Copies of this chain bind each other. A is one copy, B any other.
Amino acid sequence: MQELKGINMSDTFKIAVAQMDPHIGDLPHNRARILDMLREAAAEGAKLIVFPECALSGYVFDSAAAALSSTETVPGETTSLLAKLCAALDVYCVFGLLERAGNDIFNSAVVIGPQGIVQNYRKCHLPVLGIDRFAAKGDSIPVIDLPFARIGLLICYDLRFPEASRSLALRGIDLLIIPTNWPEGAESSPDFLTRARSWENRLFVAACNRVGEERGTRFIGRSQIIGADAKFMAEADGASEVILYAEIDPALAREKRVVIRPGEFEFDPIGARRPELYGGLDTPTA
């Protein structure tokens, strides 16, 4: 584990997960909705507000050309607006957009705070689905230190790969944030995969999905905030725009050794690893 520098170990903070219904290609609408929901969540005391994957753009594009007018650069118009609002409200947010970078489009999620852009994460695992068919892959899975927690981001399909969240847990994150666009057919994620990632790593997990429909693809909502003990702290339905809230105590994710009855029932999902037996997990598949 890396040492945690400059993070107060005793503070809790309120997280908000803003399940929204982006309109495909309608950036002005989506941008306004993000800003509105961010103001609402900040007024409720949230310090970190999470929006879905592709919250700014929508997802079901049939070509890179069709998506181009729905992209932005990072930094760009929306990150600048959000940076100003985060500074005014003294909050952090995570939102998903299609990022234009040279000739590439990335499916990205950006962490923004009062100081501006903190980190841009580019989705690393891409399914054959929607804009991901035409997107470029990210090339790192960073840990991100906020004043109140160490976090990591994974976008949608990234969650399927246990190595990604494990790698973040081994680098000491408290909270795994998942901006996502779970469509029909991806019920496995809210049904069991989010809790598995919490349970195997003893992490808080905040998954922000969208609702609504794009070109025949319906998205299933069910955004979730999950405790370090893999229990639900908050869960949304499958159809409504709604903001979930939960109070996060990062210290609960930092003590990996869990003592149910001292000397009789204890477990440690990090300390009991046997890495010498897992050969090949971080070397390419043959």
- Identify the A interface with B (CB < 8 A): 1, 124-129, 133, 137, 139-141, 157, 160-164, 166-167, 170, 185, 188, 191-193, 195-196, 199-200, 230, 260, 263-267, 269-286
B264 and A129 within 8 A (CB): yes
Chain B residues within 8 Å of A1, by CB? 285-286
Q: List chain B residues, Cβ under 8 A from A273.
A: 125, 161, 163, 285
The answer to whether B164 touches A278, judged by C-beta atoms less than 8 angstroms apart, is yes
Residues of B within 8 A of A277 (CB): 124, 139-141, 163-164, 167
Check if B139 sits within 8 Å of A170, measured CB to CB.
no
Bound form: Cα–Cα A162–B196 in Å: 9
Chain B residues whose C-beta falls within 8 Å of the C-beta of A196 in the assembled complex: 162, 192-193, 196
Contact of A128 among B124, B164, B191, B265 (CB under 8 A): B265
Nearest residue (CB) in B for A161 is B273
Q: Are B280 and A284 in contact (CB under 8 A)?
A: no
* Smallest beta-carbon distance A139→chain B, Å: 7
Report Cα–Cα, A129/B272, bound state, in Å.
Answer: 13
